[in-house]
Amino acid sequence: MAQVDKEQRKPEPGEIVAVIKRILAENGRDYMGQYALATVCLVAVAATTAFSAWIMRDIIDEIFYRENYGLVPYICGAIVAAFAIRGVASYGQAVILAKIGNNLVARYQQRLFDHLMKLGLDFYSSARSGQLAAQISQNVTGIRDMLSITLTSIARDAVSLIALVAVMIMQDPLLSVIGLLIGPPLVYSVNYLMRRLRRVTRESVEVNSHLFGAMQETVQGISIVKAFTMEEQLSAKMADLAAYAENRANRIARVSERLTPITEMLAGLAIAGVIAYAAYRAASAGQSPGSVFAFITALLLAYDPARRLARVQVNLERSLVNARMIYELLDMEPPQRDAPGAVPIEVGTGGVAFRDVSFSYAPDKPVLHDVSFDAGPGKVTAIVGSSGAGKSTLVALVQRFYDLDSGRIEIDGQDIAHVTKSSLRAKIAYVSQHPYLFEGTIRENIRYGRPDASDAEIEEAARLANADDFIARTAFGYDTLVGENGVTLSGGQRQRLSIARAIVRNAPILLLDEATSALDNESEAKVQDALEKVMKERTTIVIAHRLSTVVNADTIVVMEEGRVVEKGTHRDLIVDPAGLYARFHRLQGERSLELVDDARQAGETDA
């Protein structure tokens, strides 16, 4: 719980006003007409509420005290009209504010998604996806709530309270002073609770995001959970998180609801004092009851808007925490921006060249050291080496997922640091060693490679990737739903769809990061044959651990600890028995022979 219990940032004075100003500056103009109409409705609700109190004097004095029954139809008609106006206005403001709020939520959800798409991979390497999704879902409503709370508190509650206080003063100024004595202690109580609520609300948001993130991770890794019988361990972890979240939620309830008994006691004292003093005056001075009843009615009606206004700052504090966390995310500057004057890349033959490239993910922890080699246009260049040698990093740098520490990467002589990222990536097709499919149909997943691809092109790409045979056996063919991350398909099937997605992109540069690692031998041979057809006349960079998949490459680059130690063809590199490539080749050959021997012995034993 270290992340949750860390010291929270101290609130700055006037921060609520600053956040509201920012929200209005970003969205106010779009909703100006709707807010104006909602304000009219809210003012109408406030006016009819004050009218209900004001008319009590005429009801008591004129009808019951002076027995002027001729006024009954007019007074009854006015009351019916007031309540009808109030009902229509209440409905109108509720619907309008709901529509504005729903649109704001949708707008910020889209804005957040667009912003997240601009952030670099370094952000996602440190952020947990489940926690991030939970924070967004919890916090995005804070923007909506800040505006709706502000508008209703000003246009309805504040206007209602002002109008009712005016009625009270018109009926009896001295009684009004008695009724308003609850103001100072109420303000002090609100300020005290506000300071405590802000910290505990942020803690609650963070612990709930951890809880939802842990749930999502468990669901995504359910096969590992069951395989390693982790149910009890994770259940205990979830119990701790759920208990902590419950504790935070209970604390929020205790802090925020303390205002209710304080408000009730103060209001009870004020109303009791007013009634006692009014009774004394009526008994001693013989004052007519109409103005007293009107005053008490106004006082009782003023209690609700006063109570809501007393909670406005408390509610705004809770919404402020949510809104501020959303803006913390939106204010993150994308680490990679197109360089000033960047132009779209023009790719002809697609030759890729690394020139003295050095790179590190963190300071003082270099991954690549002065890497230089050429991936010839229309040729296949294979990158081999042990785990951690920096092979996958090279593929990431070609796509400019990260910026270099030093050196250059050129495509057809153009430094990719000076071209737009979108145009660069549009010229590259990529197949990861971890195939990822999005929820939707098979056809939609392949079409992500190129949105304007026709159905015929999609089916041809699937055929080349050796995927059309299993697609034909599915219930709905290309319209079959793959589930979350292709859960309904095998690993080899997901990989073949990933390859089909790269094929349909029809890009001049092809990056294959262990593209056949998830396939069995038969499927690998078929897909390798398909890839060889696709790789013709394309610049291809292949990363592979199994050397059997790269023996036909035009150039093999051997890496060790972030450095290029050997370059050449398979025939060139294998002749040096002391070379790293030759050692890899011998080790993999020995393992293959051991597997063959084991299989042969198992067959003889079975026989």
Strands 406-411 and 380-385: unpaired
| Residue 199 confidence (pLDDT) | 67
Does residue 484 carry a pLDDT above 80? no
Two structure tokens written together for 355: 């020139």
432: Cβ contacts below 8 Å, ≥ 6 apart? 498, 513, 514
Strands 555-560 and 563-568: antiparallel
CA atoms within 13 A on the CB side of 182: 24
355 close to 417: Cβ distance less than 8 angstroms:
no
Continuous segment of H or E residues that includes residue 231: helix 231-257
| Residue 195 confidence (pLDDT) | 64
| Residue 459 confidence (pLDDT) | 93
Q: Closest Cα to residue 291, out of 72, 83, 55?
A: 55
pLDDT confidence band for 222 (50 / 70 / 90)? confident
Backbone angles phi, psi at 35, to 5 degrees: -65, -35
96-105, 265-274, 322-331, 546-555: which has the minimum mean pLDDT?
265-274
85 close to 41: Cβ distance less than 8 angstroms:
no
Please, what is the angle between helix 289-330 and helix 231-257, to 10°? 140
Question: What's the rounded Cα separation, in Å, for the pair 246 and 248?
Answer: 5
Question: What's the rounded Cα separation, in Å, for the pair 539 and 374?
Answer: 11
Two structure tokens written together for 46: 């406030």
pLDDT confidence band for 605 (50 / 70 / 90)? very low
Does residue 106 carry a pLDDT above 50? yes
Question: What's the rounded Cα separation, in Å, for the pair 187 and 305?
Answer: 15
Distance (Å) of CA 196 to CA 6, 107, 202, 333, 514: 16, 31, 11, 31, 53
Two structure tokens written together for 416: 């990719």
Question: Tens of pLDDT along 310-349?
Answer: 677 767 777 877 788 888 888 888 777 788 888 999 988 8
Question: Tens of pLDDT along 411-434?
Answer: 999 999 999 998 999 999 998 877
Residue 474 in 3-state DSSP?
coil
Per-range mean pLDDT, top range of 207-221, 246-260, 390-404: 390-404
Question: What's the rounded Cα separation, in Å, for the pair 461 and 499?
Answer: 8
Does residue 377 carry a pLDDT above 70? yes
Does residue 596 carry a pLDDT above 70? no
- Structural domains of the chain, with CATH: 15-330 (1.20.1560.10), 349-427+507-575 (3.40.50.300), 439-506 (no CATH)
396 close to 359: Cβ distance less than 8 angstroms:
no
Backbone angles phi, psi at 408, to 5 degrees: -145, 150
Question: Tens of pLDDT along 248-274?
Answer: 778 877 777 776 777 777 777 777 777
Continuous segment of H or E residues that includes residue 167: helix 159-171
Q: Give Cα 604 distance to the centre of its chain.
A: 58
Continuous segment of H or E residues that includes residue 591: helix 580-606
Two structure tokens written together for 214: 């842990």
What is the separation, in whole angstroms, between the first and last Cα of the chain? 59
pTM, to two decimals: 0.71
Question: What's the rounded Cα separation, in Å, for the pair 392 and 383?
Answer: 9
Two structure tokens written together for 237: 């972890």
Does residue 84 carry a pLDDT above 90? yes
Distance (Å) of CA 357 to CA 121, 259, 403: 19, 63, 10
Distance (Å) of CA 489 to CA 150, 484, 486, 499: 50, 10, 6, 15
510 close to 535: Cβ distance less than 8 angstroms:
yes
Does residue 8 carry a pLDDT above 60? no
Question: What's the rounded Cα separation, in Å, for the pair 370 and 392?
Answer: 16
In b/e form, how buried is each residue of 381-408, taking b as 16+ CB within 10 angstroms?
bbbbbeeebbbbbbbbbbbbebebeebb
Residue 420 in 3-state DSSP?
coil
Question: What's the rounded Cα separation, in Å, for the pair 507 and 345?
Answer: 13
Taking the CA atoms of the chain, what radius of gyration do you get in angstroms? 36
Question: Tens of pLDDT along 129-186?
Answer: 666 776 677 678 878 888 888 777 777 778 887 887 887 788 777 777 766 666 677 6
Q: From the CB of residue 204, how many other CB atoms can be counted at a distance below 10 Å?
A: 22
| Residue 302 confidence (pLDDT) | 78
293 sits in the region (left: phi over 0; alpha: psi -120 to 50; else beta) called alpha
Residues 235-251 have a mean pLDDT of 83
356 close to 372: Cβ distance less than 8 angstroms:
yes
Q: From the CB of residue 127, how many other CB atoms can be counted at a distance below 10 Å?
A: 15
298 close to 162: Cβ distance less than 8 angstroms:
no
Q: Closest Cα to residue 198, out of 255, 276, 142?
A: 255
Does residue 42 carry a pLDDT above 60? yes
